[in-house]
Amino acid sequence: MHSLSFLLLALPATLALHVPRQAVDFFDPRQNGGSMLDDTGNGLGEPLNVIISGLSSSEVLSEEGIVNYAKAIGFSEECLGIHLGDPQSANLGDGNGPVNQTIELRQDYGDPDLGTCLESLIGGNHFRVFIQNGPQQPTGALFLAVSQEEDVTQGHTITPDGYNIGRDLLVANALGDTSFNGVNYHTVGRNITGLLPVGTQGVNHGEC
C-alpha cells in the first residue's frame, strides 16, 4: 500500500455551493484517536484512500447526494438492495467513535439499475462511505474505502494491489465534468501523502 490518499472536491454545477460546518477539507482522524483504516471486524482494516472534501457542495455530502454522485461516476447501490456480509466501521476522530459505514456502492458497468448485480458476480470496483460529522469535528467530509475485488468464486477478496487500483479508477472517473439525473458535477482533486503508512501491516487481505 502506498502512503497516498486522494482528496476530491465535488461541486454540482447546477446547484449553489453551500460550504458546510467547519469550512475545511477534512480533519485527520489520527489526531483524535481515529484511524485511516476502517475496521473489518477481524482485527484488520481497509484504507480510507479517497476523501470527498467537506468543502464540496452540501448536496454531495449526504447519503442521497453521494448516491447520485456515485451514479455520475459509474457506481450504484448494491444489487437489488441486497447486502451480504457485515458492515465495516470506522473511527474518524470526530467524537462519534467507531461508526458503521453509511452505504456501500458498487461499479455498475453502465447500468445504474442492475449493473451492480454483474459486479457482484464478476467483481470490480466498490467503495464504502463514512461521514465525518461527529460533535468534535463536524467537517462533513466523506471518507471512502475504495478497492477492486475478485469475482464471487474468489469470495470477493481484494485483487492484487486492489486498494491502489480501486482508488485510481474511481478518481479517474470522477475528475472533470460528469452528470446524472439532471445534476452536472465538476470535480477537482489532489494527492495527499502521509495519511496512510507504506506497507500492509494491519491491512485486510494483506494487499497493498
Would you give per-residue pLDDT tens digits along the chain (208 residues)? 444 678 888 875 543 333 445 689 999 999 999 999 999 887 889 999 999 999 998 889 999 999 999 999 999 998 876 655 678 999 999 999 999 999 999 999 999 999 999 998 899 999 999 999 999 999 999 999 999 999 887 777 899 999 999 999 999 999 999 999 999 999 999 999 889 877 676 676 555 4
What are the b/e assignments for 127-154, b being 16+ CB within 10 Å? bbbbbbbbeebbbbbbbbbbbbbbeeee
Q: What is the DSSP letter of 78?
A: P
pTM of the shown model: 0.90
Angle at 92 between CA 164 and CA 40, to 5 degrees: 60
